[in-house]
Amino acid sequence: MIRILLAVLVTCSSLSLSAQELSKKETKAINKRLKTYVKLTKKEDYNALMNLIYPKIFEVASKEQMIEVFNSLEAQGFDMIFEEMKITSLKPVSISTSANYVLCPYDMKMKVALVNKEMQNLEIANSMLEAFKMVYSTGTVSLDKENYTFQIEGKKHLVAIQNSDYGKDWYFAEFDQSNPMLLNMMFPEEVIKKTKELVKD
């Protein structure tokens, strides 16, 4: 009886350990999709990028609506340039669930220029500066007042999700703690809790 109990404990320990580690196949699949995600983000190819977004988010806003929002930024007078988006690690979120979640921290650098002449005044620029500082509270935001250009640098977090409801592919969603309502709609409570712990590490 003792031997059986020991065998069960060893098996459970092994399962717990493997659940916290990515296989080579999983790592390769995630990195391949991430490479495409970063490439499309830098190219601002939002139509193609939607194919990599976690489909559950489209219950909140359709693909067409999201593409329209991204494309409307230029029409509103914003020119966004992603200078860098570097994935720094892959951290499995170890929980008991049918879906798989992996935290993907990344370093980013981005420029946002105000190209609309009506927006090129210091009052608007300073208001936007404060707004950007709130969104990127863990990074740095500066304003070139001569050129009305913001330089934004910081660490952000994607979550890679493999959910059988949407097939075998890995999809991505931003883990934005400033938007708890959206997080609660996309992720189980336990996933949010564990991911927040990993973000702090």
Q: What is the pLDDT of residue 99?
A: 93
Q: What is the pLDDT of residue 19?
A: 42
Q: Which of 22, 24, 21, 49 is nearest to 37 (CA)?
A: 49
Give the count of beta carbons closer than 10 Å to the beta carbon of residue 170.
Answer: 23
Annotate 61-130 with three-state secondary structure: CCHHHHHHHHHHHHHCCEEEEEEEEEECCCEECCCCCCCEEEEEEEEEEEEEEECCHHHCCHHHHHHHHH
Residue 74 in tokens: 């230029």
Model confidence pTM above 0.85: no
Q: What is the pLDDT of residue 20?
A: 58
pLDDT in tens, 143-174: 999 999 999 999 999 999 999 999 999 999 99
Q: What is the pLDDT of residue 14?
A: 31
The label of the residue with tokens 């966004």 reads: 80
Is the Cα dihedral 72, 53, 65, 178 positive or negative? Answer: negative
Per-10-residue mean pLDDT for the chain, 201 residues long?
32 36 94 97 94 95 91 84 94 85 96 92 94 87 96 95 95 92 94 94 73
Query: Which H or E run contains 155?
Result: strand 149-162
Q: What is the pLDDT of residue 2?
A: 36
Q: What is the pLDDT of residue 138?
A: 81
Q: What is the pLDDT of residue 9?
A: 29
